[in-house]
Amino acid sequence: MLRLRSSVAHHRAEEFGTLLRDLEGVRRIVRQAETETSEESYVFVADVEPAVADRLIDEIHALGLGVEDYVLSKVDVIAPQHRHQHGDFGSDGFAWIEVIGQARANSRPLARYLALINVAAVIAALGVITSSSILIVGAMAVSPDLLPICATAVGIVSRRYGLAQRAFTTLVLGLGLVVVTAMVLSALLNWAGLLPDGFAVEQSSLSTLAHTDYSTVLIALAAGVAAMLSFETRASAAVGVAISVTTIPASAYLGVALGGGGIEHALGAAVVLAINVSLLIVSATLTLAVQRWLPNRSGAPI
């Protein structure tokens, strides 16, 4: 369920109220005078089903109201569960405006994103060096790379190519940071004599990260579907672990190969990484495109 809160000038209050009342899927409309401003205006509050949110925003903009005049937020419905899970629209409906908002928020390389990706790089590099699958899983749990991957797909499907470019740049920057951090860390450990005796990256139990086969393609495609579906809900933190299996380990292996000796094995890891990232974006994009296409086929609003 979404909650709309909007401030409207008095001469547009009747028109705005009519818009809300006439739009199916907008319920429990409340209008009250705004007392915190010197100008006469009214505040409208209404519950909005996700499936009609995009149409509502278009109608609001058509009235000449700007983004500073309203707030659309998500509300967790506690009760009654049956109505909101099985109603005409459903609280889990596809709200395109919500997905766009999340994509914009995650398309830039914020400091927290860079910090988390760097921590993931250190953990994953040590996992490759010590052949520890537990450390690799830990690195995948920390990595936030799911967010720019999905933001790239959203930008492509919505034809907001500036958004897609920003998100893809953020993704490349993050994975590049993983490679550089792993390379520097392994080089420093090698220089200090702290690498295991006779260390060779190709002898690591994770050497499969540098080889491509049919499973590489299938895993990346499946991960892309899961990534987009989780991005639309609040399950991205949990599903992100599964998504990162296709990105963080290969990036760390590439960095360790470059910094710890074994440059000749770096190419294989680079190819695996490039294939995985490409297929993730393709799969996520197709998943989102199908979701937008299905409502059009059924005649429901998107």
With respect to CATH, is domain 2-93 assigned 3.40.50.970? no
Domain boundaries, the chain: 2-93, 100-298
pLDDT of residue 152: 96
Name which residue leads in pLDDT, 67 or 48: 48
Residues of the chain above pLDDT 70, percent: 87
pLDDT of residue 39: 66
pLDDT of residue 94: 53
- Residues 65-112: pLDDT tens digits? 888 889 988 887 776 655 544 444 444 455 677 788 888 888 998 899
pLDDT of residue 28: 92
What is the 3-class SS of the chain, one letter each residue? CEEEEEEEEHHHHHHHHHHHHHCCCEEEEEEEECCCCCCCEEEEEEEECHHHHHHHHHHHHHCCCCHHHEEEEECCCCCCHHHHHHCCCCCCCCCHHHHHHHHHHCCCCCHHHHHHHHHHHHHHHHHHHHCCHHHHHHHHHHCCCHHHHHHHHHHHHCCCHHHHHHHHHHHHHHHHHHHHHHHHHHHHHHHCCCCCCCCCHHHCCCHHHHCCCHHHHHHHHHHHHHHHHHHCCCCHHHHHHHHHHHCHHHHHHHHHHHHCCCHHHHHHHHHHHHHHHHHHHHHHHHHHHHHHHHHHHHCCCC
Q: Check whether 53 has a pLDDT greater than 70.
A: yes
pLDDT of residue 34: 76
pLDDT of residue 36: 62
Name which residue leads in pLDDT, 24 or 198: 24
pLDDT of residue 89: 43
pLDDT of residue 38: 54
Q: Check whether 7 has a pLDDT greater than 80.
A: yes
Segment among 146-155, 164-173, 208-217, 229-238 with least mean pLDDT: 229-238
Calculate the average pLDDT of the chain: 85
- Residues 153-178: pLDDT tens digits? 999 999 999 999 999 999 999 999 99
Q: Mean per-residue pLDDT for 273-282?
A: 95
Q: Check whether 113 has a pLDDT greater than 90.
A: yes
